[in-house]
Structure 1
Amino acid sequence: MGRTLPRALTGFAALALAGTSGSALPAPAGSAASVAARTPPVSLHITRSSGDSVQAEYRLARPTRALHFAPPLDGYRARDWKSLPGEFRWVREGDGERIERTDGKPFARLSLDIPVRYSALEKAYAPFSPFSDGGVLVYSGRFQACPALPCKGTEPLAVTIAAEGKTIGVGGKRSANTAAFVSREEGTNVYIGSAQPVPTSGFLAIVDPALQPVLRDHLLESLPQSMRDFAAIYGPLSITPELYVSLDPKPPSGTSLSSQGGTLPGQVFIHLYGDGWRKPIKLGDVVWLDWFFAHEAAHFFQRAGTNDVIGPDSQAWIHEGGADAMAALVMRGRSDTERSYVTRRIAEARKACAAGLTEVALNAASRAGKFDLHYQCGMLIALAIDADVRRGSGGAKSLHDVNRRFFATVRAGTPWNGRSFLDAARRTGLSAPTLATITAITSQKLADPARQIDTMLRQAGMDPAAP
């Protein structure tokens, strides 16, 4: 499985779709101040015409000597974003990169020709997820830019899209031929194509028509099933999310099953790539897709519970590992195939967590490039909390009660961090010995991680050999 998750969130990107900025006390109409307020420092105009590329034109309110981007994406932009030969060049700078004229002169416009093809990026959503019928999902977060440093890559970007004869879906709305919005924070996915969404159990879904019918039907049920499971526990959502499932139209021959996906506010998306998706598939061979959808569904309820307040990378074990634990708990109540898969995932996480923590402390895993430890170790921690609280309450309470208490404290203004989460667990009934062991695992470098993990599981009443 080649599923990739973005740095800092799997899906916890914040998005606001709005017009150009205003103020509480607007300047008189037509004044220089009001014109400046309506003029974004950088705007992007994307044209999707026939062929396998888009034309992207950046326009700047004032000339600049460089346009800055973050993160650098392992050189993806320099490889694929092409300007007129010899006119511009890409330069790596710190945690980002910039594009500048080769003669060093300032510029106010930058035109780029960008191929619409899937690029697997490490811990980052791809800019394009093409569909087999010619449609494409465009991730706006990859295009956000700054006219000057510092640049986080989350600064607002005014975007217009032109695609003659196509439907453009963005911000929960669909329009013909053109659309305009402001991409903020981590951005959003924009659909450009001709497919009509299919309403299914509280979702609007666009699923690639080339997907095998048995898999298509299963995917249209898998995510809604997880949403129903969590809604029964946490209450229904107030939104109707979108589901996008795209199938790479040009997979390299002989490649296996791979995927990348995640969540953004109001969206779940997954891109399937590799030649293996075009061969006959048994549902038992892709049960990891059910895990993926259960994990992403859990993020919707985490986010809804906290009004989109999520902690930093160093605390990702709470929401990423927590989402894996939530997935494990609901999937245990389904078929034997899914229960067996959950058992295998837990065993693999135990091994990977112990090995990873021999090299780095969990609270430093993100900085060390070992973000996956937040999933693996975080799931074990959350499941230990679940087992410990259930045992202490005679089955009356669980991880879900811990989550609800934690979400409520975050909504009330308590910081999203390990201390707050573990305090919510303690107040829900987590035992002192298990709490002490978890605190050590999450906050310090361990001399013997495997022993500490097994101690945590035993203290919670779990069998480390068969969790």
Structure 2
Amino acid sequence: MLWQLLRSVLLIGLLAANFELSANNILITDIVKSADASWSVTYRSQTPVQSIQFHHSPDDSRFERWQLISDGFSFRKLNGKDTVFKQDGSGFTSVTFALTPTYIHLPKSYAPFAPYSDGSVLLHSGRFFACATLCRSDENLWYLTLSAPANERIVLNGLSANNKVSWYDENDGRKVFVGNTEITETNHYIAVIDNALPPALISALEEFIPNAMVAMASRFPALGQKPMLFASFGKTKGQRYGRQGGVLPDQIFMHWYGQLKVSNPYDLIWFYAHEVTHLYQGGYVNSIENDHAWIHEGHAEFVAGELLMQFYPQATSFVEQKRFQAQQDCKAKLAKFRVEEFAAHQEYHALYQCGAYFYQLLAEYSGSAEKISYDFWLGLGQKASDKGNVDKDVALAVANLFLTEQNYQRVLREFGW
């Protein structure tokens, strides 16, 4: 059983113990949770560097939430990326930050910490990716260590350990659990679910997600392994509340913060269905850039509606209203920006709405919601670039296969293409 693997000791150096870190002067990133529940991160270089630059800087929140412990350093933007320098301009081999281990909503990115109500934490490794000197466009390998108090469990890549783990990371990173929340295993996933979440929320999750996974697995390639499912809750000050979900390879995670109530059960199921769809999309498509996020977000929105109606036929009117709202919101945004400009103007919600509207039109004009839900995504994989990348041109080329020329031109006009 996988749970037996979870109880095994995770070996340090998961991928290549003899990897020569000095070859490209890859930074060693040491993340530490101390016994007093404080967190810090230290970046170490084998040779002196003039700066350390973070690979992904979606906003300025690091300047508020990461406090320099090391003396004599400055922290500022350089070419749009958070960058650390010595104030006197000299080289250095290490720098340490104290971290704020609470949840923060980042634009089109995952927070470094998603806390559980019992003090456990889900950590996102990608938030800690940094480069020696400056980040190159082709830099995609990171070496990290994570240390935690001996009485807390570290779960990385489906394996459990205590004290310390080390690993090489890539792409968007992964989620790593630290704490003692109960871990359970079902036929479909291994779950770490916060007991502070409302019973209605948990029961809906445990009922719907297995059904949705069976439905998706019947049409999409099987997952590489049984995924980890993380569902966490963190209290917030004031009136701030919300939720965020996401998917990484073999991981699905959801975080709620602030007020906890299930006002509309169909909206909750839609949220679950959207994330389950993302879990299976990677079987055909490897990469979609943020500017084209409407392709996968819109597909997840459309399939969410189809799954909802499949298992809850009484939710049809809810789905129809959601789709009508997506159409209206999309048209309003298209009056201001082109779809390709949404991300640059941080109109991230419009990526979902216009993406959903795109698939709604394809389903209407092709006469088959099922083909657009499944066969269209297969077509994207077949027409993707050699590296598995998909963009607008690929999406439109596949759309053209499902539509008459007249209806294809109608779609182009609707989106101003």
3-state SS in 2 of match to 1:59? strand
Is the CA contact 1:302–1:407 (under 8 Å) kept in the aligned structure 2? no
Q: Which residue of 2 aligns with 1:166?
A: 152
Counterparts in 2 of 1:241 and 1:264: CA distance versus 1, 3 Å: same
Q: Which residue of 2 aligns with 1:430?
A: 403
Q: Return the alpha-carbon distance in structure 2 between the equivalents of residues 202 and 35 of structure 1.
A: 38
2:305 to 325, 328, 340: 328
The amino acid across from 1:325 in the alignment is: F
Following the alignment from structure 1 to structure 2, what is the Cα–Cα distance between the partners of residues 414 and 41?
Answer: 26
Residue 252 of structure 2 corresponds to: 268
Distance 1:40 1:400, change over 3 A: same
- 2:143 aligns to what SS in structure 1? strand
- Alignment of 1:19 onto 2:16: yes
Question: Aligned partners of 1:410 and 1:327: how far apart in 2?
Answer: 23
1:120 equivalent to 2:105? Answer yes
* SS of alignment partner, residue 294 of structure 2: helix
User: Which one of the candidate residues 402, 409, 412 is aligned to 2:383?
Assistant: 409
Match of 1:259 among 243, 255, 279: 243
Match of 2:38 in 1: 53
CA distance in 2, matches of 1:270, 1:134: 16
Give the drift of 1:384: 1.7
The superposition leaves residues 410-436 of structure 1 with CA deviations (integer Å, 9 ceiling, x where unpaired) of: 387775233333333333x31222211
Cα deviation, residue 177, structure 1: 2.0
User: 1:17-96 counterparts in 2 under 5 A?
Assistant: 18-19=15-16, 22=19, 36-37=22-23, 40-84=25-69, 87-96=72-81
Kept after mapping to 2: 8 A contact 1:159/1:182 = yes
Corresponding residue to 1:101 among 86, 96, 103: 86
d(CA) in 2 for partners of 1:382 and 1:370?
19
SS of equivalent residue, structure 1 residue 82? strand
Residue 171 and residue 233 in structure 1: after superposition, are their counterparts in 2 closer, same or farther (change >3 A)? same
In the TM superposition, what are the counterparts of 1:177-188 in structure 2 within 5 Å? 177-188=163-174
Instruction: Please give the root-mean-square deviation of Cα atoms over the aligned residues, in Å.
Output: 2.6
Structure 2 residue aligned with 1:176, among 139, 159, 162?
162
Q: CA deviation at 1:240?
A: 0.9
Structure 1 spans left out of the alignment, 5+ residues? 1-16, 23-33, 445-467
Find the aligned partners of 1:151 and 1:236 in 2 and give their Cα distance. Answer: 34
Tell me which residue corresponds to 1:459.
none
AA of the residue aligned to 2:208: S
State the 1:203 CA deviation.
0.7
Q: Which whole-Å deviations, capped at 9, do the CAs of 1:268-308 have from their partners, x for residues lacking one?
A: 1111100x21xxx44x52432321221111112211123xx
Cα distance in 2, alignment partners of residues 417 and 121 from structure 1: 24
Partner SS, residue 68 of structure 2: coil
SS at match of 1:129: strand
The structure 1 residue matched to 2:319, chosen from 342, 366, 371, is 342
**CA 1:406–1:150 in 2, change beyond 3 Å: closer, same or farther?**
closer
- The 1:397/1:100 distance shift into structure 2, 3 A limit, reads closer
Write the letter of the residue equivalent to 1:356.
Answer: K
Alignment match, 1:385: 362
| Cα deviation, residue 337, structure 1 | 5.6
Using the TM superposition, give the Cα deviation of residue 56 of structure 1 relative to its aligned residue in structure 2, in angstroms.
Answer: 1.4
Contact in 2 for aligned 1:57/1:112 (Cα 8 Å): yes
Larger radius of gyration: 1
Code of the aligned partner of 1:418: K
Q: Structure 2-normalised TM-score?
A: 0.88
* CA shift for structure 1 position 310: 2.0
Structure 2 unaligned blocks of 5 or more: 1-13
Q: Which residue of 2 aligns with 1:31?
A: none
Q: What is residue 368 of structure 1 aligned with on the other side?
A: 345
Q: CA deviation at 1:396?
A: 8.5
The one-letter amino acid of 1:305's match is Y
Q: How many residues align?
A: 403
Question: Could you tell me how far apart the structure 2 residues matched to 1:388 and 1:240 are?
Answer: 37
What is residue 188 of structure 2 aligned with on the other side? 202
CA contact (8 A) 1:365 1:374 kept: yes
C-alpha distance in 1 between matches for 2:65 and 2:138? 18
Matched-pair contact (CA < 8 Å) for 2:67–2:98: yes
2:232 aligned to 239, 246, 259, which one? 246
Shift in Å at residue 72 of structure 1?
3.1
Matched letter for residue 28 of structure 2: S
Aligned partner of 2:134 in structure 1 is: 149
The alignment partner of 2:237 has SS state of: coil
Residues 251 and 364 (structure 1), Cα distance of their counterparts in 2 relative to 1, 3 Å cut: closer
Q: 1:60 to 1:316 in 2, by over 3 A?
A: same
Shift of 1:189: 1.0
**1-side partners of 2:351 and 2:370: how far apart?**
28
**Cα distance, 1:265 vs. partner?**
1.0
1:317 counterpart = 2:294: yes
Distance 1:398 1:160, change over 3 A: closer
What is residue 10 of structure 2 aligned with on the other side? Answer: none
Mapped to 1, the partners of 2:357 and 2:250 lie a distance apart of: 28
Question: Distance in 2 between the 1:84 and 1:188 partners?
Answer: 26
Q: Which amino acid aligns with 1:261?
A: G
CA distance in 2, matches of 1:323, 1:97: 32
Contact 2:221 2:283 in 1 (8 A): no
